[in-house]
């Protein structure tokens, strides 16, 4: 607590209400287990970067092409982030200015599509994302959206995807998901996209850290455009990036009949001035730190263990007779049908909250229930892995989850098991 009061001394002195909220959230994270697969814990170095004096600077434009003065160090930070992103993901161009994943996706689509053009992504109810053309998203209103699904077991159905692509002739095909527990075959998607003359956009927000560490195949060489957040398995701040190949041209020069070689310029223009104003340089500083961390052997070991832990949990759940979408996982997340317990995903989420485990209710493929009270839950292993947990801890954790779902009478015992794990594997030691 003494270190916490020192780190947050100015907030504590100047705004006790916000300090209490910050302190409470630190305790909540320390004393519980985050198992939402889209969450991770940023390092102290990343937290320091995003809380730096770069928060004070307005830097509209791009390095060496700003609209304000005083940009010596902002240019250095953004150029470092760009260089690291290109090297880590093996693309020729990187835009690190997107405020998050959703604006990155819309900017990427806006770069190559006109209003009313057809895009094709996975149906939200089957694991896709709102910004992949779902009807309530601007991407589903601004563009004509065709949606693909999965087979009855939750696997991608490439026969259906190819048939839909040939039928709708989309300008862009989107792959990459929020609730798909299996490896994405980028080569197969590229083949389908090329067959109908479409751009392939790979949204790797969930798996970016696994891709960076070589624990999931890379979209490099297959996708024309890659979008990602930086705060999930990549363990950075809440931000986004767009990657592609090619070299940007004069931003003021019109492009007639653009081709794929013009993607860097089209994307940069779509972000600024097309969608955003000044970039969040303090956040980009955090992205740069996270990208450096992701190039280390320690990060690679973390990513490998994330997958091992997820597979171990899936094995435990299968041995307990729980129902998993696709029967297991290849990555960091698990999608579970909880209806055999006589409860819904919302009830399961609330029940597990009682043992200090945070996860989220989630639709399962072909879910008969509505989105606000679906049949499943989604859980993942990035956060517990960052804390240092491995297969033995997954055995304890998996059984605690199964026990809690099976019978509320088991909550007390399961809560104790979680408490002991949290004490043994502290987060942000000393804070």
Give 86-111 pLDDT, tens digit per residue. Answer: 999 999 999 999 999 999 999 999 99
Q: Which pair of structure tokens corresponds to residue 425?
A: 């594997």
Q: Would you call 410 helix, strand, or coil by DSSP?
A: helix
Pairing type for strands 360-362 and 357-358 reads: unpaired
Q: Distance of CA 269 to CAs 45, 114, 115, 131, 264, Å?
A: 31, 14, 16, 20, 9
Q: Check pLDDT > 70 for residue 251.
A: no
Q: Check pLDDT > 70 for residue 125.
A: yes
Q: Which pair of structure tokens corresponds to residue 35?
A: 């198992």
Q: Which pair of structure tokens corresponds to residue 205?
A: 């927000």
Q: Give the active site residue among 8, 12, 31, 58.
A: 58
Q: Give the active site residue among 66, 90, 238, 320.
A: 238
Q: Distance of CA 14 to CAs 2, 17, 241, Å?
A: 17, 9, 35
Instruction: Determine the pLDDT at residue 208.
Output: 98
Q: Are 230 and 236 in contact (CB under 8 A)?
A: yes
Q: Are 168 and 133 in contact (CB under 8 A)?
A: no
Q: Give the active site residue among 139, 150, 229, 230.
A: 229
Interval 383-426: pLDDT, tens:
999 999 999 999 999 999 999 999 999 999 999 999 999 999 99
232 catalytically annotated: yes
Q: Which pair of structure tokens corresponds to residue 283?
A: 């956040």
Measured distance CA(233)–CA(66) in Å, rounded: 32
Q: Give the active site residue among 57, 84, 232, 311.
A: 232
Phi-psi region of 349 (alpha: psi -120 to 50; beta: other; left: phi over 0): alpha
Instruction: Determine the pLDDT at residue 252.
Output: 66
Phi-psi region of 144 (alpha: psi -120 to 50; beta: other; left: phi over 0): beta
229 catalytically annotated: yes
20 catalytically annotated: no
Token pair 């989604």 in the structure block, residue: 378
Q: 342: which DSSP letter?
A: T
Measured distance CA(199)–CA(205) in Å, rounded: 18
* Angle, in degrees to the nearest 10, between helices 391-406 and 411-424: 160
Domain boundaries, the chain: 53-293, 297-424
Q: Check pLDDT > 80 for residue 289.
A: yes
Q: Are 5 and 402 in contact (CB under 8 A)?
A: no
Q: 378: which DSSP letter?
A: E
Q: Which pair of structure tokens corresponds to residue 269?
A: 């223009």
58 catalytically annotated: yes
Q: Check pLDDT > 90 for residue 253.
A: no
What Rg do the C-alpha atoms of the chain give, in angstroms?
Answer: 22
Mean of all residue pLDDT scores within the chain = 96
203 catalytically annotated: yes
The pTM (predicted TM-score) of the whole model is 0.96
CATH of 53-293, one of 3.40.640.10, 3.40.1080.10, 2.60.120.260, 3.30.2320.50: 3.40.640.10
Interval 264-281: pLDDT, tens:
999 999 999 999 999 999
Can you spell out the DSSP letters for 15-81? -HHHHHHHHHHHHHHHHSEE--TT-----HHHHHHHTSGGGG----EETTEESSS--HHHHHHHHHH
The answer to which of 60-64, 142-146, 249-253 has the lowest mean pLDDT is 249-253
CATH number of 297-424: 3.90.1150.10
Q: Which pair of structure tokens corresponds to residue 352?
A: 């597990």
Nearest 5°: phi and psi at 362?
-155, 145
Measured distance CA(240)–CA(101) in Å, rounded: 5
Instruction: Determine the pLDDT at residue 75.
Output: 98
SS3 content of the chain, % helix, strand, coil (to 5): 50, 15, 40
Q: Give the active site residue among 31, 39, 60, 395.
A: 60
């Amino acid at each position: 607590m003494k270190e916490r009061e020192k780190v947050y001394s100015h907030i504590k002195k100047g705004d006790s209400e916000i300090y209490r909220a910050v302190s409470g959230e630190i305790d909540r994270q320390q004393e519980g287990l985050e198992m939402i697969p889209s969450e991770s814990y940023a390092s102290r170095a990343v937290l320091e970067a995003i809380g730096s004096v770069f928060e004070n600077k307005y830097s509209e434009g791009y390095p060496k092409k700003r609209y304000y003065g005083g940009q010596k160090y902002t240019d250095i930070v953004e150029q470092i982030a760009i260089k690291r992103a290109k090297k880590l993901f093996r693309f020729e161009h990187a835009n690190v200015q997107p405020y998050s994943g959703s604006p990155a996706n819309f900017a990427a689509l806006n770069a190559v599509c006109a209003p009313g053009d057809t895009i094709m992504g996975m149906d939200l109810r089957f694991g896709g994302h709102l910004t992949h053309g779902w009807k309530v998203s601007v991407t589903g209103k601004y563009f004509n959206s065709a949606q693909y699904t999965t087979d009855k077991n939750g696997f991608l159905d490439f026969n259906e995807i190819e048939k839909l692509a040939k039928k709708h002739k989309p300008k862009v095909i989107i792959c990459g998901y929020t609730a798909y527990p299996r490896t994405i075959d980028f080569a197969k998607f590229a083949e389908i996209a090329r067959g109908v003359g479409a751009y392939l956009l790979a949204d790797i927000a969930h798996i970016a850290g696994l891709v960076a560490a070589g624990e999931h195949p890379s979209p490099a060489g297959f996708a024309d455009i890659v979008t990602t957040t930086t705060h999930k398995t990549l363990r950075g701040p809440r931000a986004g990036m767009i990657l592609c190949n090619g070299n940007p041209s004069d931003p003021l020069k019109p492009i007639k009949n653009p081709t794929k070689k013009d993607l860097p310029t089209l994307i940069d223009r779509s972000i600024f001035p097309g969608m955003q104003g000044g970039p969040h340089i303090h956040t980009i500083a955090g992205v740069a730190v996270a990208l450096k961390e992701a190039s280390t052997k320690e990060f690679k070991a973390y990513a490998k263990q994330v997958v091992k832990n997820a597979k171990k949990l899936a094995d435990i759940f299968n041995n307990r007779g729980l129902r998993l979408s696709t029967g297991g996982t290849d990555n960091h997340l698990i999608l579970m049908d909880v209806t055999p317990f006589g409860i819904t995903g919302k009830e399961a989420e609330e029940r597990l909250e009682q043992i200090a485990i945070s996860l989220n209710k989630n639709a399962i493929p072909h879910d008969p229930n509505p989105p606000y009270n679906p049949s499943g839950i989604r859980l993942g292993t990035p956060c517990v892995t960052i804390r240092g947990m491995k297969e033995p801890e997954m055995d304890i954790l998996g059984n605690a989850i199964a026990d809690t779902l099976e019978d509320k009478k088991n909550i007390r015992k399961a809560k104790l098991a979680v408490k002991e794990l949290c004490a043994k594997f502290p987060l942000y030691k000393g804070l």
